Structures are given as structure tokens and as C-alpha cells.
Chains A and B, each alone.
Chain A
């Protein structure tokens, strides 16, 4: 049990826990001590010196963010001495580089500027030496302007502690200190994985997102809490939008990913520029013609009524809302009795547990990764495996894939036939985790059964919301019987060759999707679907918890949510 400590801050009696810093204790008591390099998600550093406070019997002012509380301590956080020192530190920070606000993207939301306003800085007391400082624009999605950097090292700590990538560090010393990547590579050519965690924590305009630069200040934009739909990890996101347009995506600090996203969730969706389907289309006279919803749905219903149910195949991607998937099953299996399934594996046949969380993973002492390659397609899960490793966990990788991205971060590698040895190793650990994917296979799954009561099991579904498909017992994989009619709900995925081949064999093809592509060229009816930023509903995340997908922008004119389309179709049958 933590010992309670009594101390006084600004004359107020406060109780704190032993081991807390002065800053933590003050914050818990509602006392605001300003800071710049401090961030609740990363370890305190004491770099910026803004949080300096007066502590009785200490010879000099001390940084509240790193100084531990002790019994009977007396602290002053806004005494004249502290305020004078803080103003001095601010002058030092501004004098070091070129901090010109008038053309800075961050002006208005900058933490450094906010402090300068708070302490009434109306001039610079020290002459700016005008150092020529570079701007690094080599990354694809965001820019590093060293002129605005205050060397708080939040980016370095985020890269190391949150993304566990350890790309960033500093080079040189003193006035020449610069944030750098690897052995001083341009950021875009370094081991940076473009997760953007550093971008999210930067307090000034040093790191700037390209797409949303100058597009709106905090007071002008809307934030919508949602879930990323790229993979089955289901990271919590905040979609920043303005006037019905998505500006950028940030990681939600309160959700299980704790602010961390990967390039596929933070940047790529905002850069998607495939051609969007804007209205229902029906093949007439050799071409696809836009029609009203009624006509499109009537056409499909008419065809369904005249086709034997066992010759109808309805397949959906897992990457869709709970509501949509349930409605899909209700209409095509329940009402019609057609062949129904999902395009991607659901891991149901493995009969392994689910429910392990990222938090449990990070505190594991041993992690078995089998049949999955998290760092390539479930990156945030991969980052958390690396974080566990940084805390001393050993990673056992079971794979036949020589190009596995987990290879470099595995302590031991096993082929599938050596799995029993890996399992024996795990059984000797105190809190193991098993991360299993679609490549696991029946035999391996049976062998892993012995760990069911001991380990946290984390499923790596190949597609988002595979969890719900498993819950609904949906068969995965297309069946090969020739079909008279096929209905494919694809959302925004671009299906591979296997699906394309299968779809071509159906006599009548309905494709329900967001973007034009090879699959829509062969379709008889195309129905437009919504995008990730327009969806409203829920999906299951990695832990098997329901996560709310909320729409951040209004629906484009004439589009209807997928589940409503299915309901309207069912009404015609």
C-alpha cells in the first residue's frame, strides 16, 4: 500500500502518495503548475525548466515534474521568485531559435506561445542570434521545422516509450543540439514508421501535419471520438473535421491504444483518393447508369425472387459495423436462406480464447506470437509487443515466414513443429500472452489449448471486426459452387484476385462498395456504401469490447447507411 505524504503547496495542506512528484501531487489537488516538456503519457524529463518551483530548504528552484514529494515539504508555485525565474526561462527559450508566430501553423494553439501570453511577454530581452536552422520535409505526412523546436524531447520519449520504435534522439550538444533520427538520417529515410505519435505530442509548431496545416485552429474545428477501422486492433481515434471535411486523425488518449496510432489509421485514410461511387448504378445497354435507390433495389429484389436461394451467395467483408453485419445475416441467411459468409478468416475454427488486452500484453513477461505478423498489418499491437519487450518480456515467434517483421524483435524463433517446446517455455512464465493469427492452423491451436487457463489470448483477426463475424458464426472463405447471383458487401476494401475471379463466375453480381475498381467493372448493380468517417455504429476492438464508430462528416448527398439499404431490400422480398 502506498504511504500517504502530507505537504503544503502555496500554503494549502495537501495529501499525496509516496513516490509521486510535486507536479503530480499539485495536479491531483487542482493546483496548476505550468510545464512544456511534461506529458502525462510519457516519463517526466525536466528539460524545459518551466515547472521550476520554490521548495523550502532547497538551495535552488526545483523542477516539480521530477522532484519527489516528501513529508512536511513546503512548495511555492507562483511566488515572485518563481514567476521571475519562469519569465527568464521563457526568454531563454525564445532567444535560442527563430520563434516567429506570425506565420506559424500552430499559432493560437501553441503551448510555448500560451505560456508567453500567460506571463505577459511583450518583448525579447535577449538578442536573437539568428541561427540558420533547417526544416526537414522528407517525411511524407508531416514536417519537422527545427526553428520552432524547444528540445523538450517529447517526440523522443513518445517514439521510444509509446511506439517503441526508438528512431529519434538528439545529436550534438549545447546550442547545437538537434533532434535527429537514427545516425542523423533525414527523417523520411530513417527507421521512422510514420506512426505520428511524436506529431501528436509536440507542444509547438515544430512538427506539423501536412494535410491539415493552416486548415483550422482548435476553436474552429470539431472533434469526433471514433474508432479506426483499418485493422482489428480498433484503436480509439479523434477525427478532426471542419465544415464537413476531415482534416486529420489523432489517437484517443483514454482508449486502449492510449493515443498511439499507426500510419494506416492516422494518415492513409485521409489521403485516400480513389474514385468514389456517388449513386446506385445499374447496367443498362452495356454501361453502368446512375439510377434512384428504388430502381436499384427493385432490380436486385426482382432478381432475388426469381433465383433459388441455394444459388444465391451473399458475402461481406468483416470490415463493417456490427449493425450492418447483423442485418446482412438477417436478410440473406434469415429471410432468404441463401449462402452467407465473410471474405476474411474469423479464427473461429481455432477455438482459442479471446479477451486479452494491450495493457495485459505490455505487462506480460513472455509473449508467444504465432501465425501472425503484427508489425506489418496490426502495427499498434506490434508496438505494444515491442513495449513489453522493452520492459523485459521475452518474445517467442512461431513462424515459417523468413520475412516476418517480428523477426528482429523475437528472442527465440520456432518452426511450427517446434511449437511444443515453445509452449513448455511459456508454461514456466508468470504472466504469459499468446498472440495468434490466421496462420495458426488447427493442429497448433489444439496444442495451444493447454495454455488456456494461464495465458492472455489476443486474436489477430485479418480484418476489422472479425470478432463480430466470429460471434455470428459466419463461414469464412468463398464457396466454390457456381452461383446464379452474388451480393458482395465490400465497404471500402479493394478485393484481391480470388474474389474477382469468383465474382466473374456469378451470372448476376451486386457490389455494395464505396470506390470504383476492377470489381465494380464486372457488376450488374452497384450500391454506394459509406466511408469510415461517415459511419455510425459500433465494432468490436482487439479486446472484444464494443467501440463506437461515430460519423465526423455529414453523409454525401443521396447516400444511405448500409444497414438501412439492407432493410429496404428486405422489405421488398
Chain B
């Protein structure tokens, strides 16, 4: 049986969700008999394969123009897109930046930080620009939402196993948490 191809990427994220994936412990090894991880923050390949994958998992808030590119690419190349974690599902902590003027926020981050001397706001052309911090489903259609900060290893395992059985997972009880 061919393994199901899975790609993962992270946007403005803390890696807590990725830690939770690893927290599935031995179950991950069992999963790897049925899924093939392509590009992930752990395997450190930067793009999902051009021919596409079945399942894509995104964590983190959409926070800058690079995040927008990643989200769009993931949506194109993944049949089923999962938003994992409160940041990808609800917007999360990053959305606090939306209450402030972007330039003020950049100044606070690069110039006014207590340990910085003669700071400047990076303005190289190759760098991305900040955008309004939003959840993934405000940019592209998301097929499965998995809230949690992070979602528990049980919830992550539940979602993946349901998908492998050909079912759309419905979260409830201990698997549905927002913290």
C-alpha cells in the first residue's frame, strides 16, 4: 500500500504544535508506516513536492508576506489542508499586533528594544513585509481545524488516524480544547 504523503509547514509559530506532534511518541513511529513525511520543519525541506501531497498541516499565524506565499503554496499542493493550533485556527497571540500601528510595532521591535544600540528597521528588498495577523482560513480555504495551544498529542493522533481511515475527523470532548 502506498504511503499517504504529508507536508507540514509553520508560519508565525512557536513550535509548540510541532512539539505536540512529537509528543505522540511511539504512535508516530506507527503512523510512519502509513504516512510519508515530505517537507516539514523537522525534515527541513522547504517546499512540498511539486506533484502535491494528500495532507498538509499548517501551524502559526499568517503574519507577513512570506507566510502568505507559504499558505498559498500549501493550499495549491495539498489536497486536504489542516490548520493546527490556536494560531492557525483563531489567529492566536500574534493578533495582538493588530491593535497597533505596524510602523510603531517595528520601531518597538528593532529600535526601542532595551538591549539595542543604534537600531534600524531592516528594509532589504528581499525581506518580507508584515501584514495584518490573521488565521489561515482568512487567506485560503481550510479543510480541517484543530484548535489547541497546542492541541494535545491525542487530538493530533486522532485527526491523522481518522483521515487515514478515510473519515473527516470531528473534534469533541478531550480533543477539543482552546488552551
The chain A residues found within 8 Å of chain B, CB to CB, are: 98, 100-104, 107-108, 113, 116-117, 120, 122-124, 127-128, 130, 132
Stretch at the interface among B18-26, B33-41, B85-93: B85-93
Q: A120 with B172: in contact, given A102-B178, A102-B179, A130-B95 (CB under 8 Å)?
A: yes
Stretch at the interface among B63-71, B117-125, B141-149: B141-149
In the docked arrangement, what's the CA distance between A100 and B142, Å?
Answer: 20
Residues in B with CB closer than 8 Å to A127 are 134, 138
Judge whether B176 is part of the interface by a CB distance below 8 angstroms. yes
B30 to chain A, nearest CB (A): 25
Q: A101 with B86: in contact, given A113-B178, A128-B95 (CB under 8 Å)?
A: yes
Q: A101 with B170: in contact, given A123-B145, A124-B90, A128-B91 (CB under 8 Å)?
A: no
Q: Which of A103, A116, A128 contacts B93 (CB 8 A)?
A: A103
Residues in A with CB closer than 8 Å to B176 are 117, 120, 122
Residues in A with CB closer than 8 Å to B93 are 100, 102-103
The chain B residues found within 8 Å of chain A, CB to CB, are: 83, 86, 89-93, 95, 98-99, 132, 134-135, 137-138, 142, 145-147, 149, 170-172, 176-179
Residues in A with CB closer than 8 Å to B92 are 100, 102
In the docked arrangement, what's the CA distance between A127 and B176, Å?
Answer: 21
A56 to chain B, nearest CB (A): 31
Would A122 and B145 count as touching, CB distance under 8 A?
yes
In the docked arrangement, what's the CA distance between A132 and B176, Å?
Answer: 28
A553 to chain B, nearest CB (A): 28
Q: Which secondary structure dominates where chain A touches chain B?
A: loop
Residues in A with CB closer than 8 Å to B178 are 101-102, 107, 113, 116
Residues in A with CB closer than 8 Å to B99 are 130, 132
Q: Which of A101, A122, A128 contacts B179 (CB 8 A)?
A: A101
Residues in A with CB closer than 8 Å to B138 are 127
Give the 9 A-B residue pairs with the shortest CB-CB distance, closest first: A101-B178, A102-B149, A130-B98, A123-B145, A132-B99, A107-B179, A122-B145, A101-B179, A102-B179
Residues in B with CB closer than 8 Å to A123 are 83, 89-90, 135, 137, 142, 145, 147
In the docked arrangement, what's the CA distance between A132 and B99, Å?
Answer: 5
Q: Could you jot down 20 A-B contacts, CB within 8 Å?
A: A98-B95, A100-B90, A100-B91, A101-B179, A102-B86, A102-B93, A102-B178, A102-B179, A107-B178, A113-B178, A122-B89, A122-B146, A123-B89, A123-B90, A124-B89, A124-B90, A127-B134, A128-B90, A128-B95, A132-B99
Would A124 and B149 count as touching, CB distance under 8 A?
no
Residues in A with CB closer than 8 Å to B142 are 123
B6 to chain A, nearest CB (A): 20
B171 to chain A, nearest CB (A): 5
Would A122 and B147 count as touching, CB distance under 8 A?
yes
A88 to chain B, nearest CB (A): 17
Tell me how many residue pairs across A and B have CB atoms closer than 8 Å. Answer: 58
Q: Which of B137, B146, B149 contacts A101 (CB 8 A)?
A: B149
Residues in B with CB closer than 8 Å to A116 are 178
* Additional 11 contacts, C-beta under 8 A, given A101-B149, A123-B83: A98-B95, A100-B91, A101-B86, A101-B179, A120-B171, A122-B145, A122-B146, A122-B176, A123-B137, A124-B135, A132-B99
Instruction: Determine the residue in chain B with the shortest Cβ distance to A127.
Output: B138
Residues in B with CB closer than 8 Å to A120 are 170-172, 176
Would A104 and B179 count as touching, CB distance under 8 A?
yes
Residues in B with CB closer than 8 Å to A108 are 179
In the docked arrangement, what's the CA distance between A100 and B132, Å?
Answer: 17
In the docked arrangement, what's the CA distance between A104 and B93, Å?
Answer: 11
Residues in A with CB closer than 8 Å to B172 are 117, 120
Instruction: Determine the residue in chain A with the shortest Cβ distance to B83.
Output: A123
B136 to chain A, nearest CB (A): 10
Residues in A with CB closer than 8 Å to B98 are 130
B179 to chain A, nearest CB (A): 4
B145 to chain A, nearest CB (A): 4
In the docked arrangement, what's the CA distance between A120 and B149, Å?
Answer: 17
Residues in B with CB closer than 8 Å to A113 are 178
Residues in B with CB closer than 8 Å to A104 are 179
Residues in B with CB closer than 8 Å to A130 are 95, 98-99, 132
Residues in A with CB closer than 8 Å to B177 are 117
B147 to chain A, nearest CB (A): 6
In the docked arrangement, what's the CA distance between A130 and B98, Å?
Answer: 7
In the docked arrangement, what's the CA distance between A189 and B99, Å?
Answer: 26
Residues in A with CB closer than 8 Å to B132 are 130
Residues in A with CB closer than 8 Å to B179 are 101-102, 104, 107-108
A550 to chain B, nearest CB (A): 32
B36 to chain A, nearest CB (A): 27
Residues in A with CB closer than 8 Å to B89 are 122-124
Residues in A with CB closer than 8 Å to B171 are 120, 122
In the docked arrangement, what's the CA distance between A258 and B178, Å?
Answer: 33
In the docked arrangement, what's the CA distance between A108 and B89, Å?
Answer: 19
Instruction: Determine the residue in chain B with the shortest Cβ distance to A107.
Output: B179
In the docked arrangement, what's the CA distance between A113 and B179, Å?
Answer: 10
In the docked arrangement, what's the CA distance between A120 and B168, Å?
Answer: 14
In the docked arrangement, what's the CA distance between A426 and B31, Å?
Answer: 82
Residues in B with CB closer than 8 Å to A132 are 99
Residues in A with CB closer than 8 Å to B134 are 127
In the docked arrangement, what's the CA distance between A103 and B146, Å?
Answer: 18
With most chain B CB atoms within 10 A of its CB, the pick from A98, A108, A122 is: A122
A217 to chain B, nearest CB (A): 10
B137 to chain A, nearest CB (A): 6
